[in-house]
Amino acid sequence: MPSKTMLGQFTRNRRLELGLSQNRLAELAGISQAEISRAERGNKKNSKPRKSTLKNLAKALGCELARLENLAPKKPAGRPKTELGRLIQSRLQTLGLTPGDLQKKLGVADNCIPNWIAGRSLSISYKLLRPLAGALKLELADLSEFALKRNKPAETAFGRMVRRRRQERGWSASVLAGKVGITRAGVSCIERKGICSKKLAKKLAEKLGLDPAALLALKPARKKRVRRVKSSA
């Protein structure tokens, strides 16, 4: 059964790496097999083992106590609100890593990973794409839609409003595209240039929780074509 915590995932992975059964690990740690089982499952009622248990586990697993303490949940973690946050948290749990571990691998600021997970940062700088994909064992394509290089500045008030409301909901351009029935490239064009039909603008307003009339008022006016009249010589 998959573990519900990063501590449980790490404990199980490390135990299997050492070729130990739960009973053997329990003997080495001087605790019961039931405690090992609870630690690996990460049940809500027993998701954080006592410090003495962690100390014994660390010794038996051949790792530092601080590592297990960092992995132990300090409070129930809320589900990330953005696609990027959910993806990163899911991979960290699967790999038995902490945000601190990922931060060290990437050499980024302390608040960088928490900001991604919490949804305070919605994009990834291009230079971090490949290292992040490698650290999380993902394909580059899995992260490409979050690349900062794709987030070109919006040129119109209409485009800025669409992008702001999309980001407030934690949606990628692909998600919004699916909701209104267009391509991701179409959403990108709308956000940069404000080009779309009235029908599509109304659909965007509905999905983004905006007043259709207010959104339509932001649409850039279409340039009128000036026909040249040939002069008869």
pTM of the model: 0.36
The answer to the question of residue 210 being in a domain is yes
pLDDT digits (tens, 9 = 90+) for 207-218: 999 998 888 888
Sorted by sequence, the CB contacts under 8 Å of residue 9 that are 6+ apart come out as 2, 3, 42, 93, 94, 95, 96
Q: What is the pLDDT of residue 46?
A: 47
Q: Are residues 207 and 180 in the same domain?
A: yes
Looking up residue 185, the CATH number of its domain turns out to be: 1.10.260.40
Residues 187, 177: contact at Cβ < 8 Å?
yes
Q: Are residues 53 and 10 in the same domain?
A: yes
Quote the Cα angle for 133-136-142, to 5°. 45
Q: Are residues 138 and 173 in the same domain?
A: no
HSE (CB half, 13 Å, CA atoms) of 192? 11
* The last residue of a domain, from among 96, 117, 150: 150
Count of structural domains, the chain = 3
pLDDT digits (tens, 9 = 90+) for 182-233: 887 788 878 887 878 889 999 999 999 999 888 888 877 665 554 555 555 4
* Domain residue limits at 163: 157-216
